[in-house]
Amino acid sequence: MTTEPLAGTESSGIDRRTLLKTVGGSALAVALAGCTELLEGEQESAADADVPDEPIESGLQTFTEGAPSVLGIQAEYGAETAVRRINENGGIAGREMDLDVVEEGGAYLTNYQQFVDEGKDVTFGPISSSGHAEMVPEIEAQEVINVSTDGTVTTLYEEDFPDVTYSFRFQNHDVMEALAAVNQAVEVLGADSIDTYAGINPNYAFGQDEMNLFSQGIEKLTGAEQVYSGFPDLGTSDMSTHITEINGEEPDVVFSSCWGGDATLLLEQGHANDMFDNTELLVGTVLYGSANDMEEDLVDGPIYSGSRNFYWGEPSTDRWSPAADLVDEVQSEYGVVPTAHFMSGYGAVTAWATAAEKAVSLLGRWPEQEELAMVLENHGFFTPAGYHTMGSDHQGYSNAHFGELTWSDEHDAAALQDVNVFAAKNVSPPPGEISSDWIGSW
């Protein structure tokens, strides 16, 4: 496999003509791509369309409380920022957008049904993979589009619900970040130097899916043997039992998909119990999502993290200014550094909004739910993270990032350095193919 950035995100050559052509000439799409300097003089392509006057009503469910809120509030900030930019740039085909945010908790179905009863035009979320799986049949029954911010279990659209109409997911799914972690480990240590590996992952569908895919990938590329796999409960207060097992086995690589407050706890207790003296490398797919929850001493050691589809330093901000502009805007508005989970909320809203405006341009009127769902399939759009597509299989596809954890004095937060960018086609199978079968064919 090779690292390969998507076209249009690696050079300053993404000029006004190219970007406007790519996004369909829509001022809204340009604004959501983060290129507000291109807006002056642009014409709305849907200005004469038959569009209702009332605002678009939308709802987001995300974690706003407890350890998961470390990621969930980032998604809320992202969705709010996208909605703010939409309204500041004239709305979607002239319609402004309202966003209600509710606590995700364990109330996935209740939240979605409440949004539908309230007449929401679109819903976003959840974060949880288990909650997303629980929601899909109800979304298909209610026929109101939901764009999940996360809920990234690979089998969801590959095997469990392969033929859906109204259920979509913005974020890269698990196979993309698990295989990015495999490739990162091989690059750092070398395939011939990885003989053993272990894992500490959350004890539910997401953690089990990520560990399974990492195991398949690293065993294919290196022939390594798994010596330990532990699954602490989500939101646990103690990982010492698992860390003791790691210290006893001294694996070459430790893999973890712990997230939110659990990611911070893993680093805290790993340092306190000398875990980083007993392994060559920790690769964590979403450790960086907790960047604003980490102290400087926690990033010491051989620790690498993924950042799903967004890291604000890659492409470098002198070549792709929208990412730098977004960091400044978010730090000013919320006092945090945006992570990939900020992009979960921002991207989910952007996917739907740009597809809605495209549908209005095609139809000359506001689309029905089924029509908008058809436009969302194979829909391509920009955000400050670069270019994304919503596949025909309803999976989101974009570059995956992985780099070494470090500390940024400039932003007073954890950061990544020496970032690798993995194109979607190199860490996920083609739409319609099962990930496990694809890895098995290597």
- Closest of 245, 151, 150, 152 to residue 199, by C-alpha: 245
Higher pLDDT, 257 or 14: 257
Q: Mean pLDDT, to the nearest integer, of 381-400?
A: 94
Distance in angstroms (rounded) separating the CA atoms of residues 33 and 134: 32
Strand 386-390 vs strand 396-397: parallel, antiparallel, or unpaired? antiparallel
> pLDDT digit string (tens) for 119-149?
999 999 999 999 999 999 999 999 999 999 9
Percent of the chain with pLDDT over 90: 82
Q: Mean pLDDT, to the nearest integer, of 374-384?
A: 95
Q: How many residues does the chain have?
A: 442
Q: Mean pLDDT, to the nearest integer, of 190-212?
A: 97
Q: Which pLDDT band holds residue 14 (cuts at 50, 70, 90)?
A: low
Indicate the average pLDDT of the chain: 91
Residue keyed to tokens 């400050």: 384
What separation in angstroms does the CA of 248 have from each of 235, 279, 405?
A: 25, 10, 25
Distance in angstroms (rounded) separating the CA atoms of residues 341 and 310: 8
Cα angle 435-438-440, degrees, rounded to a multiple of 5: 110
Distance in angstroms (rounded) separating the CA atoms of residues 386 and 425: 16
Given a cut of 80, is residue 36 above it in pLDDT? no
Given a cut of 50, is residue 12 above it in pLDDT? no
Given a cut of 90, is residue 46 above it in pLDDT? no
What separation in angstroms does the CA of 51 have from each of 113, 247, 361?
A: 26, 62, 11
Q: Which pLDDT band holds residue 3 (cuts at 50, 70, 90)?
A: very low
Given a cut of 70, is residue 44 above it in pLDDT? no
Higher pLDDT, 38 or 414: 414
Given a cut of 60, is residue 13 above it in pLDDT? no
| Terminal C-alpha separation, the chain | 10
Given a cut of 80, is residue 332 above it in pLDDT? yes
Q: Which pLDDT band holds residue 313 (cuts at 50, 70, 90)?
A: confident
Which residues on adjacent β-strands are paired with residue 238?
none
pLDDT at 32: 92
Distance in angstroms (rounded) separating the CA atoms of residues 179 and 236: 26
Answer for the pair 59, 135: CB distance below 8 angstroms, yes or no: no
pLDDT at 312: 86
Q: Mean pLDDT, to the nearest integer, of 356-370?
A: 96
Q: Mean pLDDT, to the nearest integer, of 43-54?
A: 76
Single pTM value for the model: 0.92
Count CB-CB contacts under 10 A for residue 215. Answer: 19
